[in-house]
Structure formats: C-alpha cells, structure tokens
Structure 1
Amino acid sequence: MDMSNYPAAVAILNSLQSNAATIAQLRASGHPDYSLALPEMVEWLAQAGYQPRLLDKLNIVHVAGTKGKGSTSAFISSIVGQYLSPGRTRQPIRVGLFTSPHLRFVRERIQIDNMPISEPHFATQFFQLLHKFKEDKRPMYFRFLTLMAFQTFLQENVEAAVVECGIGGEYDSTNIIQKPVVTAITSLGIDHESLLGHTLPEIAWHKAGIFKPGAVALTVPQPAEAMAVLQQRAQERECKLVIIPRHPQIESGQVSLGLAADYQKTNASIAVASASALLKKMGFSQVPDLVSNPAAALPKEFIAGLQKVRWPGRSEVRAETSTNTMWFLDGAHTVESIELSTQWFITETKKQGKDIPRVLIFNQQSRDADKLATALYDMASKTLGPRPFDKVIFTTNKTYETHGYTPDLVSNNTDNKSVEDLTVQDQLARTWGHLDPTAAIEVCRSIDSAILRARSLNATAATAESSQRLVLIIGSLHLVGGALEVLENAANNTLER
C-alpha cells in the first residue's frame, strides 16, 4: 500500500471509532472503570517503540478543562511560535500542537509550527504506526491519534509541545505524560457526566489528574466547590496551584486577540502565563515571569502570538459579500459555553445595527440538545426579545444531502437511524416552538441544505433598510466543521467561476 495515501489512512482510522451502541452502553453503565486505560496506553506506546520518559524531551504544556482548552492551547502554541525566528541568537524552537476534535480535516489535530501536517505526512505517520499493532489489537481512534502525535513530535525533533486532553484528565489517553513543564486547567463546567460525574467537584477531580510533581500548575478563577478540589489535588501531587486572573493588557483591549469573544480573554490570560513558564524553563531568560507576576508587561512576541492566532470555528466571523451574509460560527457543547457563545453573537450583532434579519442553525446530536437549545433561547431572548431569530433551522451533522459526510467528518459513534429519522431535530423543533410559538422553524437533513435555506430565507426576510443577513451556526463542532467545509467550497466555486 502507498504509505502516503491519505484517503486510505482516513478510511482505516475511521474504522477505529467506537460505534453508537458501544457509546450508549458506556453512558448507561454510570461511571465506567478506566483504571486500565493508562497502562494500556503505556503498553501501546512501547509497541510503537517509545517509553513514557522519552516524552519528557518534548517540554510539554498539558491543558485540561471543560471550556476553552482548545483555544488556550492554540494561544500558547501561537505565542511559542513567535520564538521560531532563525535570526535569534539561539537555535529556533519547533513547536508541536495536539488538539481535538478537528473541524474539517483530521490532520488538523497534529500541527508542527502552527500548521497542520500535510496529507502525505499524516498518511506516512499513520501507516508507520498502524503496522506496529496486530490488526485485532489496534488502539481506538483517539488513543491512536494521541500515540501518532507523540510519534510525530519525537521524529520531527519538536522542542516544545502543547497537548490538549480529550476527556477528563486523570484517565485521559494523553495522561501518559510523566513530566510536563506546565499543567493548565481552563474554565470548568458540567460535561461528559456519564464519564466524569454529575457535579463540579467530581469533574474537577478528573481534570486535576494532569497535575504532576514539579510541574507548574495553573488555573483560571473557578467556582469555589471546584477550586477546593483543584487545590487539594495539587497538594496531593506536590505542586503549587496558581490562579491566573485576566491580564490587564488583555482585559482592557489594549492587546487585541485573534479570537474575538470576551471569554477568550480568560483563555488568553492563562495562555500567556503558560507560555511564560515554558519559555523560561527553556532558557529564554528575558521573558517575564507571568506566573509570579501575572500583570507584568507582555513582550512583543506574546502580543504578536495573541493577535495572529487562528482557531477556525471558535468565535469566528465570516463575511460572504456575494449574498451580503455574515456567518457567526462557534462550537459550544455545554450550557455555559452556549451562553457565552450566544452573548458573543449578541455583542457582535449589536455593531451591525437594528432590523437586520437573524437566522439560527443549530445541532447537538449526542448530548442533551433540548437543554442546550433552551439555554440558547433564554440567553438570546433577554436582549433580542421573545423572538430572537427570524428563522430557526435544525439540521443533522451530515455535510451534504446528496453524498453524505466528507471522509474526514465521518462519525461512526452517532446513531444512524436517529440521524435518518431526524429524531433529534424534530424534538428540537418542538422545544423551540414551545419557547417561541411565533418562530419560523425548519428541519433540514444536511448542513449544505441548512446553509442554502439560511441564504434564501434571509434574502426574503431582509428589510427595505438593510439587505444584510446574520446567521449564527452554533452547537456541535461537527456541525461547525461541516459548515466551514460547505462555506469554503462555495467560496472556491465562486472564485473558479
């Protein structure tokens, strides 16, 4: 087989996903026993030809949390990336970034120097690792990609790596890291209850599992019940937990961020502290100590990193001039993140003036979709009134109506029957109809259909004063990723014509 065959690599990788029945069984079992998860990861790492101690050379920043861990990881990597310049007196750093989930392409999860690895590079790394396991004893999807990221970073001589946890921390596949330089925990909330517990203290216990003796331990302000657990776990792990407030230059807006929402200021602040601790450990003595002095002036490299960061699908705004549409995209899968994302949309749309038609496209296929949709309505209606959207569209995460999912966006852990029957979408329509009986509601089978309807419906709803239209695409990152795929293809087709 061609070792650089990316489509073949993605097809085999997709076969390693847990199916919907397995996921449902795990959720129904209450709190699964994950005590063997890390020993299994260590064994797989050994089969791949590495020992956990080899990961120490990567100078890892390990990031956990409920909200903002991906954005925080991107901020850190972008800041460290500003120290890559060959003109520096010391050897430039190579920085690796491992995050999940991806939006459009699975190779987005593994980045070198803030760029996703290429298709041939991904495929080569994939098959190289695949051949080290027996066919009936291969690691599942996320575990495989975690091992592949470490393999890639080691082979590419990465000197600093930012690694985002998948779920939790204590038993997460990434927690085979023994000696991180920095451990950072972003804002905590209720999520993955069947795996992590139903209360903030339970969830905080899992997230704090990344703390290690000797590593810098950072977090942002948290609810008291969560903070108490983090403090206790830090003490048990023989590390001092430092709470990082918003940096004054970031809070005031003196430093603009590549990710615009207000809540990103919290993520950016813990990111600058994390980057500071990492770079100082690596010998950059001129970098200020933003852990012991979190209000110290930011170096120009830090400011550039914060401004240049790009993290698609997170508080992202795209203008489509051909249809005079502004698309607002944000992945949000907890009540807290839905509320923050909705507030961001409201703040941004206020800048556009009054009487501009608003459309919502929403889906959350595998979590409590009704609860999230209700939280979205409650937040939006406080400011925008009892009918916050002129049109509400509920869609599946299927990318295209004619040919289904693109290969990188295939999700085998979704119940296909519920997708085909529009079970979740029909229920969401009923829920929203109860919240707003005057709402114009529509259900679509695919993301491209939902986007087509948003364009056409906005055009007919536009007032005489303004032909502009505002569309909020929010919920599952699978939805946001598929929407970006559709919008990108539409833009490319327009350019080609």
Structure 2
Amino acid sequence: MNYEESIDFIHSTYKFGSKLGLENITRLTELLGNPQDSYKIIHVAGTNGKGSTSNMIHDVLMASGYKTGLFISPFLEEFTERIQVNKKHIDRQSLAKITTLVKEKIDVMLQEGCNHPTEFEVVTAIGFKYFQEQNIDFLVLEVGMGGRFDATNVVRNTLVSVITSISYDHMEYLGDTLEKIAFEKAGIIKENSNVVVYPQSEEIISTIRDTAVEKGASVTVADLKNIKKTRGDLTGQWFNYLKKDVFDLPEAKITFLGEHQIYNVLTALAALEFVKKEGYKVTEASIVEGLRNCRFAGRFEILKEHPVIVLDGGHNINGIEYFSKAVKENFGSKKIILFFGMLKDKNPEDVLPFIIPLCKKVYTLTPNNPRAMKSEDLAMLITKHYDIETEPLDEYCEAIPVLRNADHEECIAFVGSLYMIGDIRTLLKTNGFIDNK
C-alpha cells in the first residue's frame, strides 16, 4: 500500500467500532514480535490533560538526550501527528510500509478466527512497530479510552504510570460514576510499579490507591504545595518548583495557559522524578529547555493577539470548565465572541453554564463527526436557556468574514470537539490568522 491507501485502510476499520479488551491487540502484537517490549514506557491515562502532560514529559526526555517516542490521539490536522519521535511525525513511507505489514498480520488473525481489530488497535500496533524500528529509548504512551481494557495496556515494560484529571466521559464504556471511571483508568497500573496522580478529589484518589495496593504499586499524588506560579502573560506561565530534593529548578516557563496546566506540569515533574530515580539522566537544564520549547496545538492556544484568537479543544464538562477559568484568568471580565461545536454524547446542555455567561455573541458550528450536534440544534439549545445573540453557521469558512471584520481589541474563541478544532486550525492558518507560527 502507498500512503493514501494506508490511510484509507486505517480509517476503513472505524466500522469495527470501539471494543474494550486486550485479546485482539495481544494477538496482533504477538504476530508483530511484541515490539512494545523494546523500550521503556511512561503510560498516561486520564480524562483531561493527557496530551499536555504527555507532551511535557516527552519534550523533557528529548531535551535530556533520549530518543523519545510519543503516541497521542486524536490528531488535529494530520494523521501522522499521532506517532512521533523527537517531535517528528512518522514519515509517509514508513506509515505505508508498516500498515501493509500490520494488514498482513490481521489477515492471519482473521484466518485464525479472531475478530478484526478496531481502528485504534490498528493504529496502536503501527505505532509500536514504528517505535521499535526507530530504536527509541522511551515511549510516552497516551491511553485512548479508559485504561484497563485500552489497546495501549498490552504494554508490560512500564517505568511509571501517570493518571491525569478524571471526570465524566465515555460513560457508556467506563461507567456512570467517577469511582467506576477512576477504576478503569487505574487499570494501567502494573505490578510493583510507580504511579503518579494529578491532584484531584479524594474519591478518585482513593479508588486509584485501592488498585495500586492490590498490585503492590506505590502512589504519589502530585502535591500543590510543591509548585507556585510566579507570573504569566499570553505567551505562557512561569513557576517555581519548590520540591528541591530531586530537581533544584530555577524559575521555569511553560507555554501553556490556564491554572490546570500548572497542575499538569506538576504531575509531569513528579513522573520525571521517578525516571531520574531509576538512574536516567534528567537534569534541571533539560527540564527548563524541554518545557520552554513544548507546544501542543489546540489547547488554549493563542493564535493571534490583535484581535485575540484562541483555540481550545475543551470537549467535555471538565475541559470547558478549564477553558472558562483560563478565560477569566487571562482576559478578566472581557466578554468573548465564541465559535462553538460539540458532539451530542458530550452532554452539551451541562457545559453551557460554564461558557455562555462569558460571551457577548455565539456562533455555533457542526463538528466533522457522525456524532456531532448540528449547529442549528446547538443554537436552539443555547437560546432556550440564555438571552444571547446566537447564530448557527453551515460551514466553517463562514467564520472568516467575522474574523476579518473584528475589532483589534476583541477576544474570539473557537471551542469544542477536537474533530472541529483541527479543521478550524487549518482553515485559520490558510487564511493568515496565525501569528509567528
């Protein structure tokens, strides 16, 4: 297969749905020679913050001189974002070659009577094989959904497990309480391993501890007393790391905005402490460099400053709440012009109280996904509850005239499903709305 045929094959497996379980991925990776056993794993689960935390850990390990893989989902603008080594996406030739190999192994599985792997299982297997061929030292591995039965959980060589912020999401698969969801996320914990947890409610931490105790694993909850934000602007946030016994850091900067990102970098540093304790070289200088250079598109990303244009993939209630706090923190009481689109199964009605009061006008969009809420339906939902000017748009490109006519002092935000945010980012880039990118 060539690149285009490989992408078509991968996306054609979407029809096999999302099936939680490790039987298929176990057999597929066996047929590939278990490539995931070739490198050390930092495994990252959670509802929100997985991508930001994973990118921070990856960039610090890279700055420390290690060849580091990064596996994330979903992608924003290009499929190859999902599989990276030292910030370089998998090349098209390698993707085509490995996808062809994986398809051959799937044919063997089907002859054996196995079910066809899902799209996520296929992509996971492709990533594992590519990382083996690249001879990486570490893989920062982001869970797709849940943890216990997620395809990524076929790994055994876990150096540290990281569990980020947990909230309600994918409840049809993971359960209808935070404890049930936390139990599924905690499924990535391995026997006698190290676990780092984002600071959050005790009910969640207690559930994670219960799983850790059963597996003889140690749990470290990132302690808010160990970090202090010192200043911030639209380029990022500066902080002091107060736990000096492992990392005696000078004032450091992250390019991410929002209080939750301070918690995410705290969690990333707690994980990197375990990497250092295992004998790997992670220095204060590599931490400062890695964090300063770390970028993650679509997460409260400031694309332009006059007018301010911000892009945020807050796609569930927890993510929208983080977005609203970041707006208040960075823009005060200033009202925003909002372009908003969500999936129907993300409970749009529940997120409205966090975001609509921040706005002076709302444009609704339809994300490019079969589960999308139609723009006109979202507009009706908003006007049912709020007296605010709301206009549904049929096409993303209808946002461009609004941006061109905006006052230089306006604050404009595109928020919602990542399936929408990636397309919007490409559109804005094409039309010249990204500064210094």
The two structures have a TM-score, normalised by structure 1, of 0.77
C-alpha displacement of 1:282: 4.7
C-alpha displacement of 1:138: 4.2
Aligned to 2:430: 489
Any gaps of 5 or more consecutive residues in structure 2? 231-238, 240-250
Letter in 2 for 1:341: F
The partner residue of 2:413 within 468, 472, 478 is 472
C-alpha displacement of 1:494: 12
The partner residue of 1:77 within 55, 58, 75 is 58
C-alpha displacement of 1:114: 2.0
1:228 aligns with 2:200: no
1:64 aligns with 2:45: yes
Aligned to 2:400: 452
C-alpha displacement of 1:131: 2.7
Letter in 2 for 1:58: Y
CA RMSD of superposed structures (Å): 2.5
- Asked if the contact 1:218/1:243 (under 8 Å) is kept, the reply is yes
The partner residue of 2:384 within 434, 452, 455 is 434
1:318 aligns with 2:315: no
Measured at CA, do residues 486 and 224 of structure 1 come closer, stay the same or move farther in structure 2, by a change above 3 Å?
Answer: same
1:281 and 1:248 map into 2 onto residues whose CA distance is 21
Aligned to 1:42: 26
C-alpha displacement of 1:249: 4.9
1:447-494 Cα deviation digits (max 9, x unpaired): 222x225315x53xx4xxxx4322111111111111111012122999
Number of residue pairs matched? 412
> Equivalent residues in 2 for 1:100-139 (5 A)?
100-134=73-107, 138-139=116-117
2:280 and 2:361 map into 1 onto residues whose CA distance is 55
State percent identity of aligned pairs. 25
> Equivalent residues in 2 for 1:79-228 (5 A)?
79-84=60-65, 93-134=66-107, 138-228=116-206
- Asked if the contact 1:100/1:166 (under 8 Å) is kept, the reply is yes
Aligned to 2:234: none
Measured at CA, do residues 330 and 494 of structure 1 come closer, stay the same or move farther in structure 2, by a change above 3 Å?
Answer: closer
C-alpha displacement of 1:372: 4.3
1:138-168 Cα deviation digits (max 9, x unpaired): 4221111111111011111011110010111
- Asked if the contact 1:363/1:369 (under 8 Å) is kept, the reply is no
Letter in 1 for 2:296: W
1:59-98 Cα deviation digits (max 9, x unpaired): 10001011101111001001101112xxxxxxxx210000
C-alpha displacement of 1:218: 1.0
The two structures have a TM-score, normalised by structure 2, of 0.87
Any gaps of 5 or more consecutive residues in structure 1? 24-31, 85-92, 288-297, 382-387, 399-410
Measured at CA, do residues 492 and 348 of structure 1 come closer, stay the same or move farther in structure 2, by a change above 3 Å?
Answer: closer
Q: SS of the counterpart of 1:251?
A: strand
Letter in 1 for 2:33: Y
- Asked if the contact 1:190/1:198 (under 8 Å) is kept, the reply is yes
Aligned to 2:292: 307
- Asked if the contact 2:194/2:217 (under 8 Å) is kept, the reply is yes
1:329-350 Cα deviation digits (max 9, x unpaired): 1111221221111221232223
C-alpha displacement of 1:434: 2.7
2:396 and 2:43 map into 1 onto residues whose CA distance is 34
- Asked if the contact 1:339/1:375 (under 8 Å) is kept, the reply is no
